[in-house]
Amino acid sequence: MNVFSHPDFDEHEKVLFGHDAESGLSAIIAVHNTNLGPALGGCRMWPYENDDEALRDVLRLSRGMTYKSALANLPLGGGKAVIIGNPREHKTPELLRAMGRLIESACGHYITAEDSGTSVPDLKIMAEETSFVAGIHEKHCLDGQTRSGDPSPSTAYGVFVGLKAAVQHRLGRTDLTGLKVAIQGVGNVGFRLAKHLKDAGAELWVTDIYDDMVQRCVNELGAAAVTAEEIFGLDVDVFAPCALGSVLNDDTIAQLKATVVAGAANNQLENDDRHGEQLRQRGILYAPDYAINSGGIIDVCYERLGNDDPDALNRHIETIHDTLMEIFTRSEQEQQPTHVVADAVAKERFTNPEKIHQAA
C-alpha cells in the first residue's frame, strides 16, 4: 500500500494506521492540515472492500474537512478516521475503546466526532480512553429543549439551507412546494433533510442500502421508494446524494435529469477535474459537498468553544446560503466548475490563517 505516492495524498501532515488484534480493530486516521487549528473530523465505520479503498476514503475525507472548516470560517484543521468493518455486525465496546486509544496516540492533532456508522453513544465509549472527542455533550435548542451532541441535525439543516440556495440560483424559485427531490441515503442526515423538504412541500423519492431506512421515509414522509439503480435517472429537479462518496461519475452523470445536485455526502465527485466539468457542461448546478454539508462541523466547533447559544449557531449555519451564492456567481463569471471556485476560496483561507474569522 503506497501512501506518499497515492493519488489522493495531498501533503497530509500525518497518516496513522492502527490495529488491535484482541478487539479486531483495523483503522486509519489522516490529518491533512492544522494551519487553522487542530484537525477535527468524524470517525466513519464502513465495510470497505479492501484496505486501499479505506485509505482513499480517509485521505479524501480529511482533505475535505480542511476545506470545509476554512470555507465555514472555523478555527479548525482537517482530519478524519475510518474503521474497517460493518457497524451493524462488528462494532463492540472493546473495538470502540481500542479506537479511543488510537485517537489518544495522535496527541491531540486529531479530534474525532460522529460520522457514518458511529453514534454519540459510540463516541462516549471512545471517550473512556481519550479526551479528544467532540459532539457528545447535550446542547440547547431554539425551543428551549435540549438535544444530544449528535451534530447530524445541524448538518441536515445546513444542507437544506444550501439546497434552497442552489434551487434559487438555478431554478429561480424560493418556494419549494412541488419541488421534486431524489435522495440517495436516508440515514441520520438524509432522513432529517427529507423531513425539512417534506415540511417545505417538496415531493420525495428515496433509496438506501438499508430497507428499514427507506420504509421509515415511506411511512412517515410519504416518500416514494426506488432502487439504488433508479435513483440517478429520475425526472426530478434535485438529486441529493447523502450516502458515501464518488457517486458522481461517468455513468451516473450521464443518467441525471436533475438540474441541481445538492446533498450531504462527502467527496461526491469521483474525479474532481473531469466530473465537475461534466456537470457544468451539462448545465447541472453542483453545490460543492464541503460547502453545503458544513453544518455539523460548525455545530461541533461551537461546542468546543463553549458557545451554547442556538441562535448564534443557526445564524452561522445559515451563512452557507451566502457562501454558496458567491460560489455559484463566481462560477458563472469565471466559467469554472463550482468545486474549483470553492477550492480556491477555501485554500486562500487555510494557507493564510490571519484571514479566517473566528466562530462566534
Cell of 42: 468524524
Cell of 49: 472492500
Contacts of 108 (CB under 8 A, 6+ apart): 38, 132
The upper half-sphere exposure of residue 3, i.e. CA atoms within 13 Å in the direction of its Cβ, equals: 17
- Residue ranges of alpha helices (H) inside the chain are 51-71, 93-104, 120-126, 152-171, 188-199, 211-221, 250-255, 272-281, 289-292, 295-304, 310-334, 338-350
* φ and ψ of 78, to 5 deg: -120, 130
**Residue 177 · residue 201 · CB < 8 Å:** yes
- Tell me the C-alpha distance between 286 and 151, whole Å: 24
- Tell me the C-alpha distance between 300 and 302, whole Å: 5
Residue 2 burial class via C-beta count within 10 angstroms: exposed 0-12, middle 13-18, buried 19 and up: exposed
- Tell me the C-alpha distance between 82 and 326, whole Å: 32
**Residue 224 · residue 245 · CB < 8 Å:** no
CA-wise closest residue to 136 among 147, 108, 45, 144: 147
Q: Which residues are catalytic?
A: 80
